[in-house]
Amino acid sequence: MPLRYADRMSTDRLPLRERKKLRTRDDLIGTALELFTTRGFADTTLDELCDAVGVSKRTFFRTFGSKEEVALAPSEDLWAAFLAELRVLDPGDRTVVDLLRAALLTALGEMTGADWAHRVLLGRRLAAETPSVDAYGLYFCERTSRTALEILHTRLQLDDPADPRVRLAMDMLVSAFHLAQEAWAEQPGTPTKEDFAGHLNRMFDLLPESFTLTAPARR
């Protein structure tokens, strides 16, 4: 079973070995984000992180591929859940954009960790300040988009396998997500995942209007 996403099973129902792995992963994420934020990403060594959690570097690399990956792990969890939902969600008569929207909002609702929203914000700030974290985020975004497209092409009956509208729909989802995340991060107070869902819905609702938006030229 993947460590990132427990396939909607309660952790209480997982075998003891898997629960320990998940606890170790959670400890690595929380400690890494704290150290990266207080000491700086570049100034925090992998040895220091592993010592703080009490695990070996071998254990770290069984869980994460790099410091960049652990920094963005909370966001990756959301997108792993999104892909899992996309594999099972009934398309019905929904548009592709609406199907993607439903999968993302369902995945967001499954982010149950008490610190998940806070950790996402910390990771976002690290990406804004650290080129290597930002580059990893872009790589992950593209990889996730390609996987989502593969799922859509597998599950949907498309007349043309190369139909660009499927990619356009995915790109609209990504754009709506980024704009929602920006608005969410900038709102006053302590942002919650419910706030995030509200921003996402607003951006999705604005998509049709963006195609008909007109404005006079400045004089």
* Residues 45-104 pLDDT 10s: 999 999 999 999 999 999 999 999 999 999 999 999 999 999 999 999 999 999 999 999
* Structural domains of the chain, count: 1
Whether the model pTM is above 0.85: yes
In terms of residue numbers, what domain contains 124? Answer: 66-211
Q: Label residue 11 by pLDDT band (50, 70, 90).
A: low
In a domain, 123, yes or no: yes
How does pLDDT run across 148-171, given as a tens digit for each residue? 999 999 999 988 878 999 999 999
In a domain, 103, yes or no: yes
**pLDDT for res 113:** 80
Q: What is the mean pLDDT of residues 184-204?
A: 95
In a domain, 162, yes or no: yes
Q: Label residue 12 by pLDDT band (50, 70, 90).
A: low
* Percentage of the chain modeled with pLDDT above 90: 84
Domain of 95, CATH number, reads 1.10.357.10
Nearest Cα neighbor of 117 from 155, 74, 63, 161 is: 74
In a domain, 21, yes or no: no
**pLDDT for res 174:** 98
In a domain, 149, yes or no: yes
In a domain, 157, yes or no: yes
Between CA 215 and CA 22 the distance in angstroms is 51
How does pLDDT run across 23-47, given as a tens digit for each residue? 999 999 999 999 999 999 999 999 9
Between CA 135 and CA 42 the distance in angstroms is 15
In a domain, 206, yes or no: yes
In a domain, 20, yes or no: no
Nearest Cα neighbor of 31 from 4, 11, 60 is: 60
